[in-house]
Structures are given as structure tokens and as C-alpha cells.
Structure 1
Amino acid sequence: MASVLYGSKTLTEGWIFKQGDRASTSEYLPANNLPTEVHLDLIKNDKISDPFDDINELSVRWVEDVPWTYRTTFQSDAGPPGPGFKVVLVFGGLDTFATVYLNGNQILKSENMFIEHRIDVTELVKNESEGENVLEIEFESARQKGLELVEAHKEHRFIVHQTEISRGPVRKAQYHWGWDWGPILLGCGPWKPIRLERYLSRIEDLWVEYEFSDDYERVTGTVFVKIEGSGSVQVTIEPPSPENGFMALKQLQHAEGHPEGTLSGKFELRDVQLWWPIGYGKQALYGVSASLTAVETHSVVQQLAKKIGFRKVELVQELDSDGTSFYFRINNVDIFSGGSCWIPADSFLSRTTPAEYRSWIQKVAEGNQVMIRVWGGGIYEADEFFDAADEFGIIIWQDFAFACASYPVYPSYLESVETEARQNVQRLRNHPSLVIWAGNNEDYQLIERYGLEYDYEGDKDPQSWLKTNFPARYIYEYLLPKIVKEETKGIPYHPSSPFGNGTSTVLKVDPTVGDIHQWNVWHGTMEPYHRLPNMGGRFVSEFGMEAYPHLETLEKCITNEEDRYPGSMAMDFRNKAIGHERRLVSYVAENFRIRYDLKGFAHLTQVMQADALSWAYKSWRRDWGTAGKRKCGGVLVWQLNDCWPTMSWAVVDYYQLPKAGYYAIKRALEPITINVQRKVHEWTVRPADALWNRDTSHIDMRKVWGEVEIDVWVASAKTTSFNGEIVLRYVSVNTGEEVLERSKYTVEILTNGTTDVIQKKKIEIPNQQGPNEAFSTTKSDPFVVHATLSVKGKHISSDISWPDPIKYLSFSDREVEVKYSDSGKRATVSAKRPVKGFVFSEKQGITLSDNGFDIVPGEAKEVIVTSENGKIEGIDWAYVEEP
């Protein structure tokens, strides 16, 4: 670093660690290269078993209750700093209660893992001739410190859900305390990089603010460059197409209203290329770079470059016939936000690589999902996560890092939260993918449950909120929106997820306003998932259904063959959801002939999850409606991913193997879809008429198969209308033959919305006895309704409606045939009789174009492997059949 005006090196290698503080006599052990965490370093040294295997999580609980020390030595690689030079240690993130020493001198005490620290060590660092520097970091137990803080702040009523009370005052990823899908792994360590900088001056930040002309063809804006020290700055803006040239801004001025050292320059771009969400246009990204030049030598000190996209985001909340809308409009186009919720990709955050982030976001895009919600109990994800979203066109809902708790507001806590929020809002503000900040996850739900004080309409004084027993309102309704407004331009803020948008129904699940978390399927009243179409809202930001992962994943984490059965201790321990033993079995048994061998049960859970998600996504996308009548603005499944190998609500498991539910969402969110759905009959409710009340059964068979009423509609994300040809076939489950004459329709498909083709059409059952004759199931011929959509003779989409529940159907030989291409990378699946839930057992190294589908005679399904070396030939598959 001696020969340059700005130098930086990352302190990655040579770290050691030990149990205890600096003074302890414990033996130092080699640590992984940074970034790292204590559990990973203990695994490296064979001091603990992998907590992801079997029930090993229990054996490592002691790790969270003791202190740990990390140590390294380094040379500054420079002579004496010289006049005006600074030497700074930059700590990207320390998890969590950390005290840092350089050459025996305390230089930092940190209590927030989400904060970056820059420490001036000019007077403490040894230069090249003076020898090595010693850097030590002591980490205290986050759990023990949390308990101490709870005790020290008796003025606050700490309430936390899911986990123990110690997480309430600790600014650490909340899921580390365990959640209903993840283990308790309360580690510590330098979880982000540490680097040494030496400079006379540097570029501290670079960002852009802009606005559009009314026709969206011209952008006027300001580039801001914040520098520390002195020097001249030049900014260039390079368009996505280099042949269009670039713009240079040389005469930057002090930015009024900003701190000293902040420079700005105006720009105007004509014929601007817009950034669009996936499916709505291209993801045009402009390059913005700043060069800092020394005044005396005219030498380039430092360059900083970023990619930005120009787009306008609006959160549309307007009164309409259904209440108050809640949907996103981007570049003046309404966007249906179908997608999923995101939790951290690993219990050990430091080992998620940039390539893995990109792979995850690519899966979102390939699944036709347009939005991902970063959940508040995790972290503010890495730049690479947002870079990938920018590239693929995925829009991001970002929660601030609060979840399921009543958080305190004592001064040092608020100061830490403000620093955390400002740093992360500043870091992420120019990503076009980021379209909303939300204050927290589910914190407002504690108000009603615990009788906390909250007067939205009557009390508008933020200072008074601090004196209530729900003081975190100050954070969510004053501090965080203030920071978002000050640090960004044009990004909506929402106080919480869910939140009723400031009306008198802030707290409850209200389908007429704001966003909702719909958990009366699985949790709550455990409604049958067939009722989901009528359980939506203006924006469904959480709902879900559990399923097992594929066998390959289970076999990796359940290492003993004797434990590989549903309900074993190791399997039950791994599923953290309360009451999962009853809930999962109930949902499977209510709908399918249950199987308890691991392969059969895992398959049925995946088919059941896919069914539940299909009912929701198809119906709630139907509620997208048309312009001015947006009853539902988006659907986000809980959850996309897992943080460890387990069975959960995830639709893609820890190893990035998609479950059948992922493909159900993918099909439901195709740009154009045909949808057919039967009227749901409450087969679990006793009929009302006296004749049938004499039967002890709760099932009215006349309504299970005896009355068929269907709706058919088309959903389109296209920005132009077109004509479509629709054909309905009625195919016997038992024989595979068509039992009624086909129905055909030609329909104009509406722009960016849903088009109803058929509403409440009754279908006469063949071979049905008259209404006054005794009912006989033997004379009823259950059939599927198969709908196809073609445009100008080209097949676009198809859908199947089954007579539920599936368990009442007989699945004799389906005559399934799977043919493979010569390369083994393509499979064509067909059958002579309708098939439910055909699933290939996915494995790492292959990527399938489709899976978890139903089949009807006359329509073959093609599945393609897109991985370079993988083949689909030889992979196991299964479908619903009689046990």
C-alpha cells in the first residue's frame, strides 16, 4: 500500500480462535478464512459434530453460552503513514457483542451485527519496519448478554414469540434463536470481511436521485459523491448499450443540504432505457462510476462503480368497491406481485457465496416469480443478492430486521437501530429491484393479543409513543420512515407486514385493506386448503403449506437408516413447526390415501403442498382483475427456501432442490394461463336435511361427485389484448375416455388482468341416477375437467380440475409411459388414464423444466434437463396410486 494514494487489503487468512476471552488459557485452534463463525470453526477442528445432521443440534447448545476470541497478525505493508494519511480498520460486521483490540489497545466495542465500523488506527498500527500487528476480537455470549439486558431494562415489557426472551434487546439475526423452520444455532464471529485501508482521501459513497418526464422517455437527476479528504471528482454514466456513448460530469459542486464532502452534479438522459420487472420488459442497467483525482499530482486515487436502473415505483392504495387497494405500479404499469418470502439461505450466514445468491435468484426468475420478500427475522442481504435481483428483474420487498416481538426503545438501543437502518438504506438505495421497505414482521399482532396500548387515530405524537407499553411504534411509524425519506427518493414505506394501512383495522387480518398473513390454513383454525380462494386479501404477503423435501436431502441429514421413517425421533426433531405431527398428517389424510413409508409419505406431502398452493395462486391471481379493479395485488408464499435441510413450508429445499409446490407456482404464474376450478363442496360438514342427518357420516356423497359446477378464466400479464381459443374436455378418471362432448369458446383475453370465460357452469354427470332415486357411488363416473388455451393454433396453457378429495378415487393401472431422448436430457410423460401428482425425485446437479404435474390422456408432458452434465433418464418417479 506504500506506493498508492489509496490502498486496501482484506485480512482474510491466518486467523485462530479459542474458547474464552483474551486472558483465558484455552488452546488456540486454526479458524477458517474470513468471513467465518464459531460453529464452522469448531466443525473444522472436529470439536463438534455437524449440527445439521440427525439431532446433533442439541449437542452444540453449549457453544452459545460461552465467550470466544479470534486473533490474527498482519503487516501494514507500508511505511509510516506520512502527513495527512489515515490508516483505518473496517469491520463489515461482527456477530454480535464484540470488543476489538489492536496491539493490546481497545479500539471498538460493538453490539449490533448489522453495523459496519470504521476505526481510525493511524496512531496505533505498526508500520513495516516495526513488525507485525496483533488484532484480537472477543465475542461475548449473545444469549447471556440478552438476558442481562432484559434484567437491566425492567421499564420495558419484553415479549417475544417463537423463541426465548433474550433475543428481544439484541441486534442480531433473530432466527439464530431458532424458529418454527430452523434450529437454535446462536453463534458468533467475524461474519463479514475485515479490511485495512490507507489513504489521503477516498470516495465514501456514490448514489443517484432522479425523476421521469410524463412520457417516461427522459430522466433528469443528480449524481451524489461523498468524499473524505480532498481531490477532484469526475462521474461518468454509461448506458446499457455502449454504442450510445457515455456522459461525463466533471464540474461537481457541493451538494446543498448535505454534509461537508458531499458533491453533486446534474444530468439529463433522453430516450432512456427503463428497468422492468421480469416479464414486463428488459432489465436495462446503466453504469455509474466516480473517479477521485489528487489535486497536486493529478493521479487517480480511487474509482467506484455501480450499476443502476431507472424505474418509477408506486404503491397504489386507493379506495374502491372492495376497500383500499394495495399493489405496485412500476413505470406506470400495474404489476401483479406473485412470488415468495425469503429467509437466510443458511443458519451460518458467512458461507453463502455470491454464486449461490445468484443461483437462488435465478430460481425465482425461472419459477415465473416477480417478487421476493426479505423477511424481518433474518438479515439485510448481501449486495450480491440485490445485484442478481437487478439482473433478473426480481422486485424486492425488504423488511427491517425486526420480527415477532415487542422491542425496547432505551436511548442506546434507538441509537444503534438508527445507525443500522441508515447504513443499510444507504447501501441498498440505488438497486432498482428494491421497491418497498417495511418496518417489521408481525410485531403489531402482539398489540391485540397482549392488550398493548395503541391509539392510531387519536395519538399522533411520536414522543408519547415512547411512554406506552408498545413503544416500538416510535421505531416503525416515526424513526424508520424518517430515515427512508431522508436517505432515498421514491421508495414506499409500509409500517409492518402485515399492516392494515393505518385504518381502524390495523391489527386484525382484514381482506379489504393493507397486506395480510393468511395462516388459518395450517395454523389457526386449520381450514381445508380448498377454502383458500375465499381467504385472500388486497395483498397476501404470507401463507403456506408444509411438505417434505426430496429423499436425497433427507438421506443427507438423517444418517441412520433406522431413523428414516415418518415420525421417527430424528424426523420429528427436525421439523420445528408446532403441532406438525397432527397438521401435516391431517392435511394429507384429508385429501389422499395416506402412506407411511418415507418415499410414499414424502411424495404425498409434496403433492398436497402443490395442490394447496395451486388453489391459492390461481384464485388470488384471478382477483388481480382489471385496471381499476385490483382486488388482490400480490401473493407471496411462506417460504421460498430453508436455512438447513428439513421439512417445512419451503418450496425449494436447502440444497436448492425444488419441491412439487415450486412448479405449481411456476405454472400458476406463467405470463398467460388458463384456469379451471370446481365449486368446493364441504364434504367434511354434515348435510342439513333430515334424511341425510339420519346417517352418522359427515359426508354428503351427492355433493362430492353428484354436483359439478365449474369456473374457467384466463390470466394474462401481457400489455395487449388478444383472442384465444379454449377447449374443455371431460375425461373419466376410471377409463380415460371422454364422457361428455367437448366445449369450445373463442374469447378476447383482456390486457394485464383476468378474463372470466365461464362462471358457475353446471355439468350433468353421465350415468347419474335421478334426483328421487337412491344415490349410488357405483353409478357415478368421476371425471377431470381439462382446459386448454391456444392462440392462433399454438398451444399456450392447460389446466386440470379434479373431483376432490382425491382419496375417494380409484387409481387402477394408469398405464404411464416415460420416454427419454437419446441424450437422456429430455423425458416425455404420457398416460392412458388421468394421473395425479407425477413427481421426479430431484437430485443435485440437474435442473428440470417442470415437475409435480398432472397428466390426462391426449396431452404428454415434456421435461427438459438444463444442467450441463445432468440427465433425467434413470431418476426415480412416482405418482398418486392406490397403496
Structure 2
Amino acid sequence: MSLFTSIDLTTGWEFKRSNDTSLQAWRQVDKLPTVVHLDLMRYNLIPDPFRDLNESKVQWVGEESWSYRCSFTPSPKDDADRVALLFEGLDTFAHVKLNGTDILQSNNMFISHHIDVTSLLNFSGKNILEIDFESALLKARDIRREHPEHNYIGHLGEVERLGVRKAPYHWGWDWGPKLMTAGPWRPIRLQKYSSRIEDIWLDYTLDEALKHCEGTIFARVDGCVGDEIRLALRNQEGDVLFEKRLPVHPEGHVQAEFALQNVALWYPHGYGSQSLYYIDGEVFTNDKAVHLLARRVGFRRAELIQEADIYGKAFYFRVNGIDIFAGGNCWIPADSCIPRLSAERYRQWIRLMVEGNQIMTRVWGGGIYEEDIFYDTCDELGILVWQDFMFACGSYPVFPSYLQSVESEARANVRRLRHHPSIIIYAGGNENYYIQETYGLSYDYEGDKDPQSWLKSTFPSRYIYEHLLPRVVSEESSSVVYRPDSPWGDGKPILDPSVGDIHQWEVWHGIMRPYQTYEQIGGRFNSEFGMEAFPHMSTIMRFVSDPKEMYSQSLTMDFHNKARGYERRLGGYILENFRVSTTDFKYWVYLTQLVQSEAMNYAYRGWRRHWGKPSARRSGGALVWQLNDCWPTISWAVVDHYLVKKPAFYSIKRSMEPLSVNVLRKHQDWTAGHACPALVSHYDIWVASSKTTMVKEAVLEVRFISIRTGLDSFPPQKHAVRVQPNSTTTVCQGIPIQNPAGHDTFVICAKLVVDSQVISRHADWPQPYKYLSFDDDRGLVIRFEDDYRHKLRVSASKPVKGLVFSERPGLNFSDNGFDVIPGEEYSIEVRGLQENELLEYI
């Protein structure tokens, strides 16, 4: 009998190129987890691939095999029955030896391995653990040749990636570099025990009143026959609410039913508290406690509502009886080299979501099943998680060993994640049915329900999305909704706006619709859409070392934008909307950011308007592509790799306020075949609310302000408004107003006031902006409120469009990229401004 111990093998490691037999080949590794690019950079054997054109200089790394080894001396075995090595993640084709004996062959970076090594360890001296990592790139090409029966079709990265269970984004994507990492990317632990709890989880149901909870706690034990286990449920304060001790089944399974009265529920942030509990499993051998395992859980009822309505079939989430407009983001891995990410870095990212009033994040299917700290923090802060399985933009093979690996991967990760209350939906992957539609692969959703026939079709991976993965989710985490893909419309075409979720890329990609049309082209749930923008200059200067390359069309800038045709697309949106009055690089950067910010304004406000009211929720959510970057680049991210927020982040934040006033005039694109601009404007004003109670005494103030003079073109208006709870309240619609100069020359400004406090502002400007003149003095005044420089006061005598303060890591603002309206003073909090640092803005 022995207490369970677990030691991380973080030090004592060396690495080398596998075929290098020289005595000097081995070099010390700083720490585990790691990947080879980090270790090579430490010795200056490769340049930083994030800088300049260096990505192209390190491609040879992915074509080599790499070896890691560790020398360690374990503590005495004592009375432990077993000693095991736990490999939480090996990237990707790994051959593991202990003291010269093969113990593991791994070919899937998403699977952990627990290997009993009791008989192989030398307890009186050193032990050598060796791991050889084959080139995943070369191995993938071999696998494709070995399976000519499959038609490999895929977008982005080498198509051979489809046959390998390695993070798809490592192969290069349209926002990230091709960096074929290898190495022990997650911890390796040496465990000693007589008995251990492998896993503990629960199933539960809540009564209709959401007050009473009944369920079952399950545990799986690896160890001695005759053990007992104590299963318990505790609240956050540590009070034991349920406890039961019972024998472990000879096969290691155990379960106990529990009931909980007056349960404290877990809510998304802004809707209630994030109440969490703990389930404990403690195993006893000969009445002595030898291992304790605890999991943090939360109780909530999460539903995907798909009722028929006047728009087709609804698609929105309901949590604890509250309908949730899921405004948020799509999440990609935050670094190309995951071991470099700290727990605090993850927390900073999730805190940004809360700061930006975002409710949901979608873990995209071309990255990784994220680190535990990611989901832990989402639990703590109330971020809903849409979790994709790791299949992206391809027709994947289905040969038997591959399917076996996929099932092991899915089962292992659903088991790892199932205790997190934040996870409310799984999807089979990302845009795989795009491939099916684009290439005309066979798919008869209604007529063919035989999974075995799918394996023989031209779209065999349907078997994965519609049979294998839903079976795993049903068996391992039955309370969580599953969808075959994102987007997916219940077997209908993937751009059908009446059902399912859609990726709306007709803005930017496709026919490049004006971003002003976002509201008109939304679906029931908009799970991807976006507009590119450059990061702030502080980030650009970190990846461009040559000042001569600091212009928008330079080789280095083009190299750091992986999007196909980005110059034509981004340039087109800028030229259609804004006056390019100078070739100054900083001004071009600003214009790209302003385009992105304006696009997000139209998307979020328009689709949140479609949230509507119960039984008529035309749009259930909006998830921007994307929140973050895996390297410093030009992309669709609204926050760059260094956590520096672009103006679009703030635009989304304002659009997602709990109470958000919105004004929109019907814009006429009079340059598209019309002889003259509109003589009359028609405008709408509405208030979007996520509050669960009515706001009975709100005041809406509306002004029409001349862009040229800053004076009111028409008398201001005031409206008493009763804002309906969790709905869209229309204040006025289709109101005509004569344009005094024969065309739009004024800004329509709306301000929502509750209890004498300004809750929300919004301004609608004439489109396009390029016809407006801002050359004269706008009377802009920016001053610090006090000597501590923690708060800015901003005002102007004439309307100012898109005031952007330059940001850098550590320098943050409570708002940015906002409009300044005469007669209004804006209070902006500033954090991290250094002594004597100049405040730059444009």
C-alpha cells in the first residue's frame, strides 16, 4: 500500500536531431513541456520565425526527425504496486523507450498515454527515457501514398495533413505560419501508487424550477481489489453537501446517487453568478486514504433551441431558462508553440472576452483541444464554450486505424472536458461540409441513413461527423448538444439562412458585399464572419526589423498576411469607404482598423437587432472570426498576438453592452448606377437589451448634427422608452428626414439615459465616408483629468469619426476608436501609461 505520488519530469532533458550521431549533438532543454522550435531558438540554431521573413528559413525543421531524452532517478518503490509514466501529449509520431525497451508508439498529438513501467525501472540508479519524433510532414506524405483509395481534398496547408492527427494550423493557414512542431508538448509525469482514481464525473438533472438537483457521481479506479472509495460533493466554501463511502467494483467502477436542494446555478457572465462545486473521489486501501482526485463542476440547464418560427428554424441557446444572444468570438490557438503560453496568459485572454461584453467563444476545429486553464477560466468568468472537434476544411480518410485513433482522441478529450459547465455544444469540425458542397461529394442526408454506406461514398468522413463523434458524445457527455459541423444546417445547403449556423463570408470573401449589408445577410446563428485589419504600430515594429519595409505593400508586410488576395480585398473596402488622403503608413494602418471596426459595428448591431423577442429570434448569436492571433500578423483578429486590442474590439464591446442604443439610416449606394444622392433619409432607432427585467423609465435623446458646422441641423428629440427585457425594442422605424444640402450632411446621434446616467451612445454617419471632409479644425480637445494620467476627457466642437489612440502591450483604454460628438464629453480610463510617455492618436 502506498500513497499516490506524481512527479513532473520537467528538467534533466536533452534534445538533438535524430540522425546526428556526434558526441556534441545533445543539447540541454530548458524545461518541459516544449517543442523543438523553442529549443532550437534557445541556442540560436534558428531565427525567431515570427520576425521578418524568418518563417521561410525554418521550414527544414519540420522535415527532420528529433530526439529527446531524460535521465532520472526515481524515489524508492517502497510498497507501491505500480509505477507509471503519463504522457499528456506527444507531438505527433513518437517512439518511446525506457532503459532501451520500447514502451509506446504514438501517432496522435491529442491523446494522452498512461504506461505501467514498474518492471522496467531501476530504483537504485539512473533511468533513461528516450523519445524519437518522426517528421509529421514526411510521415503524412507516406500515409497518403499508403492509402490511394481515399481522395484527399482539403483547403489550406498540405492536403496530406488530413491523414495525420496533428493540429491542422501547424501546416499553415490563411492567418498563420507553417511551423511543423515536434516534441513533448504537454507534461510528462512519473506516478507511483497502489490505487489511483483515473477519473471522476457526474450526470445530473434539474427540476423545472431549477431548485432541486438529482444525479449520479461516477468514478473509475485503477488499483487494488477490495478498495473503498469516498465520493463527496462540496460547495465553493468547502462545506460537504453529500458524502458516501462504498466498495470499488472489481472492474474499477463505482457510482453513487445524490440529491441537492436549493442548488446555486452557474450562469454566463452578466446573467447571474458562476457558482461552482467540487466532486471528490478519495480511494482507501486497508482503510487508509491513498489518493484524492477532485473536479470542479457547475450546475446549469443548457439547451439549444431549434423551434420552427416565422423565419424557419430557430438556433439559439437557453441557459437556466434564459435566452442568451451569444455574441462573442472564434478562438484559435494563441501561439504556434503552445508550451510557451502561461496560465496567466490564458487568463488575460479570457478576461478580455469579459471586458468586451462577449458571452461565447468557439474553439475552432483547426487548432487544439485547449489547455485545462482555458476551460477552468471560462468556468470561473462565465464564458460559454462552443467546442469543435479537430477537423477543418477537408474530406478526411476513414481507414480502420485512423478511425480507431479518432475515436480514442474524441473519447479522451470529451472525458477530459465533460465536467466544465462552460462547454455547452460540440461540433464535429469546421467547414468540412463546405468541401462536400464545393466538390460535389455524395451526400444524401434524408435518403441514406446507413453509416456503413457512407464509408464507401465520395464523402466518407460523414461517418466521423454523423456517426462516430455523436456516439462518443452521447456515451461520454450526453447532456451536451452535438452538431456535425460548423456551419451545418440540418442537411440543407450550408448558406441557407433559415436553419442552423452559417459562416457569412460574402463580406470579405466571395462576392465582397459591402459591410453595410451585414444585417441583410445574416443567418439563424452567425458563427464566423470578419474583416481584416493591421495591428497597431507597436506590434508591427516587433515583427519588422528593417525600417525600409514599413509600408503596406512591402515584402515583409505581405509575408505576414496569409490571406489570399488580401490587398485587393482590404484595399477595395478602404477605397470604397474612406478617403486616402496620404500614403503615410500609419494612416493606412489606421484606415484598415477603421474599416474593421465599422464592419463589426454593422454586423453585431444588425444581428443583435434580429435577436427580436421570444418566439421570433431571427438571430441567435454572432462570433467574430477571430478574437486572437497565433503570431504577429495582419489578420481578421480583433486583438493581436501580444494582447493589443484593435479598435474593432471596442466596437464589439459597445455593440454588446447590456443596454445598447442603435441608429441606422437606410443608405442608398447612389454611385451604383444612380444619378444623384438621396434627397430624403429614412432612419430606424432601436434598443437591444440582454437584461432580464424591463427598464421602465429610459430616455432616448436624438440629435441631427451638421458634419461641417457641428450645429444641430434639426431640433433635437426626446423619447420616453420602456425597454423590453431580453429583446429588441423598436423606438422608431422608417422615419423620413429631408437632407438640407440635397445629400446627407449630418450625423444622427442617439443617446440612452437611465436614472440620469448615459448608458449607451451610437451615431450613424452618411455613407461612404470618403465624400465627407474633415480637413478643417474639429475642435478636438483631449486632456487628462488629473496628474496621475489615469483618465482622459475628450470633447469636440464638430463631429469626429473614429478617434484611435495608439496602443501597445500594457497600455490599455476603456474605449477606443470611438466617435466624438459635439456637446458630449467622453471619459476614458487609461491603464499603463508610463511617465513622460506621449499619448499618440489619429
When the two structures are superposed, what TM-score results if normalisation uses the length of structure 2? Answer: 0.97
- C-alpha displacement at 1:538, in angstroms? 0.1
Inter-CA distance 597–4: structure 2 relative to 1 (3 Å threshold):
farther
Alignment of structure 1 residues 204-603 onto 2, 5 Å = 204-230=198-224, 231-241=227-237, 245-252=239-246, 260-295=251-286, 298-502=287-491, 505=492, 507-594=493-580, 595-603=582-590
- C-alpha displacement at 1:754, in angstroms? 0.3
What corresponds to 1:696 in structure 2? none
Inter-CA distance 866–212: structure 2 relative to 1 (3 Å threshold):
farther
| Aligned mate of 2:134, from 135, 140, 145 | 140
| Aligned mate of 1:719, from 689, 692, 696 | 692
| Aligned mate of 1:113, from 101, 104, 109 | 109
CA contact (8 A) 2:228 2:248 kept: no
What corresponds to 1:606 in structure 2? 593
- C-alpha displacement at 1:254, in angstroms? 6.0
- C-alpha displacement at 1:24, in angstroms? 7.2
- C-alpha displacement at 1:25, in angstroms? 6.5
- C-alpha displacement at 1:247, in angstroms? 2.0
- C-alpha displacement at 1:77, in angstroms? 1.4
| Aligned mate of 1:629, from 612, 616, 620 | 616
- C-alpha displacement at 1:313, in angstroms? 0.8
Counterpart-to-counterpart distance in 1, 2:772 and 2:530:
26
Counterpart-to-counterpart distance in 2, 1:414 and 1:53:
39
CA contact (8 A) 1:234 1:248 kept: no
Instruction: Give the stretch that moved more between structures: 811-820 or 47-56.
Output: 811-820
Q: What SS does structure 1 have at the residue aligned with 2:661? A: strand
Where does structure 1 lack aligned partners over 5 or more consecutive residues? 693-699, 769-779, 879-883
CA contact (8 A) 1:624 1:631 kept: yes
Counterpart-to-counterpart distance in 1, 2:497 and 2:278:
42
Q: What SS does structure 2 have at the residue aligned with 1:304? A: strand
Residues 157-188 of structure 1, C-alpha deviations (whole Å, 9 max, x = no match)? 01110111221101000000000000010110
Report the residue type matching 2:505 in the other structure: W
Q: What SS does structure 2 have at the residue aligned with 1:766? A: coil
Please tell me whether residue 709 in structure 1 is matched to residue 672 in structure 2.
no
Counterpart-to-counterpart distance in 2, 1:292 and 1:683:
75
Counterpart-to-counterpart distance in 2, 1:828 and 1:872:
18
CA contact (8 A) 2:2 2:194 kept: no
What corresponds to 1:695 in structure 2? none
CA contact (8 A) 2:200 2:219 kept: yes
- C-alpha displacement at 1:222, in angstroms? 1.1
| Aligned mate of 2:9, from 8, 11, 15 | 11
CA contact (8 A) 1:826 1:872 kept: no
What corresponds to 1:823 in structure 2? 788
Inter-CA distance 107–22: structure 2 relative to 1 (3 Å threshold):
farther
Counterpart-to-counterpart distance in 1, 2:179 and 2:23:
25
Please tell me whether residue 644 in structure 1 is matched to residue 631 in structure 2.
yes
Q: What SS does structure 2 have at the residue aligned with 1:740? A: strand
Report the residue type matching 2:126 in the other structure: E
- C-alpha displacement at 1:707, in angstroms? 2.5
Q: What SS does structure 2 have at the residue aligned with 1:877? A: coil
What corresponds to 2:178 in structure 1? 184
Aligned residues: 836
Counterpart-to-counterpart distance in 2, 1:204 and 1:661:
44
Report the residue type matching 1:536 in the other structure: G
- C-alpha displacement at 1:813, in angstroms? 1.1
CA contact (8 A) 2:561 2:635 kept: yes
Counterpart-to-counterpart distance in 2, 1:872 and 1:857:
30
CA contact (8 A) 1:500 1:514 kept: yes
CA contact (8 A) 2:176 2:631 kept: yes
Q: What SS does structure 2 have at the residue aligned with 1:251? A: strand
Report the residue type matching 2:670 in the other structure: W
Counterpart-to-counterpart distance in 2, 1:161 and 1:252:
53
Report the residue type matching 2:768 in the other structure: P
Counterpart-to-counterpart distance in 1, 2:522 and 2:448:
31
Inter-CA distance 660–473: structure 2 relative to 1 (3 Å threshold):
same
Report the residue type matching 1:113 in the other structure: M
Inter-CA distance 260–865: structure 2 relative to 1 (3 Å threshold):
farther
- C-alpha displacement at 1:328, in angstroms? 0.4
Q: What SS does structure 2 have at the residue aligned with 1:345? A: coil
Inter-CA distance 872–346: structure 2 relative to 1 (3 Å threshold):
farther
Report the residue type matching 2:760 in the other structure: S
Report the residue type matching 1:60 in the other structure: V
Alignment of structure 1 residues 37-76 onto 2, 5 Å = 37-76=35-74
CA contact (8 A) 2:154 2:435 kept: no
CA contact (8 A) 2:687 2:729 kept: yes
What corresponds to 2:736 in structure 1? 762
Residues 218-247 of structure 1, C-alpha deviations (whole Å, 9 max, x = no match)? 1111111211113221123222355xx322
- C-alpha displacement at 1:23, in angstroms? 6.0
Where does structure 2 lack aligned partners over 5 or more consecutive residues? none
CA contact (8 A) 2:800 2:819 kept: yes
Task: Please provide the CA RMSD for this pair.
Answer: 1.6
Counterpart-to-counterpart distance in 2, 1:22 and 1:490:
51
When the two structures are superposed, what TM-score results if normalisation uses the length of structure 1? Answer: 0.93
Please tell me whether residue 752 in structure 1 is matched to residue 726 in structure 2.
yes
- C-alpha displacement at 1:21, in angstroms? 4.5
Counterpart-to-counterpart distance in 2, 1:587 and 1:16:
51
CA contact (8 A) 2:487 2:500 kept: yes
- C-alpha displacement at 1:252, in angstroms? 3.5
Counterpart-to-counterpart distance in 1, 2:451 and 2:835:
60
Counterpart-to-counterpart distance in 1, 2:13 and 2:476:
37
Counterpart-to-counterpart distance in 2, 1:285 and 1:875:
42
Counterpart-to-counterpart distance in 1, 2:546 and 2:69:
38
Counterpart-to-counterpart distance in 1, 2:772 and 2:835:
34
- C-alpha displacement at 1:866, in angstroms? 4.4
Alignment of structure 1 residues 164-175 onto 2, 5 Å = 164-175=158-169
What corresponds to 1:660 in structure 2? 647
Counterpart-to-counterpart distance in 2, 1:381 and 1:797:
35
Alignment of structure 1 residues 694-705 onto 2, 5 Å = 700=676, 702-703=677-678
What corresponds to 1:78 in structure 2? 76
Counterpart-to-counterpart distance in 1, 2:200 and 2:715:
66
CA contact (8 A) 2:171 2:178 kept: yes
Report the residue type matching 2:159 in the other structure: I
- C-alpha displacement at 1:4, in angstroms? 4.5
Report the residue type matching 1:142 in the other structure: A
Q: What SS does structure 2 have at the residue aligned with 1:167? A: helix
Counterpart-to-counterpart distance in 2, 1:211 and 1:117:
32
Report the residue type matching 1:437 in the other structure: Y
CA contact (8 A) 1:540 1:634 kept: yes
What corresponds to 1:615 in structure 2? 602
| Aligned mate of 1:95, from 91, 96, 99 | 91
Q: What SS does structure 2 have at the residue aligned with 1:614? A: helix
| Aligned mate of 1:842, from 800, 804, 807 | 807
CA contact (8 A) 2:536 2:646 kept: yes
Residues 633-664 of structure 1, C-alpha deviations (whole Å, 9 max, x = no match)? 00000000000001100000000011000000
- C-alpha displacement at 1:287, in angstroms? 2.0
CA contact (8 A) 2:231 2:245 kept: no
CA contact (8 A) 1:730 1:739 kept: yes
CA contact (8 A) 1:234 1:251 kept: yes
Counterpart-to-counterpart distance in 1, 2:741 and 2:17:
77
Q: What SS does structure 1 have at the residue aligned with 2:657? A: coil
Counterpart-to-counterpart distance in 2, 1:328 and 1:24:
60
Counterpart-to-counterpart distance in 2, 1:640 and 1:872:
32
CA contact (8 A) 2:281 2:293 kept: yes
- C-alpha displacement at 1:859, in angstroms? 1.1
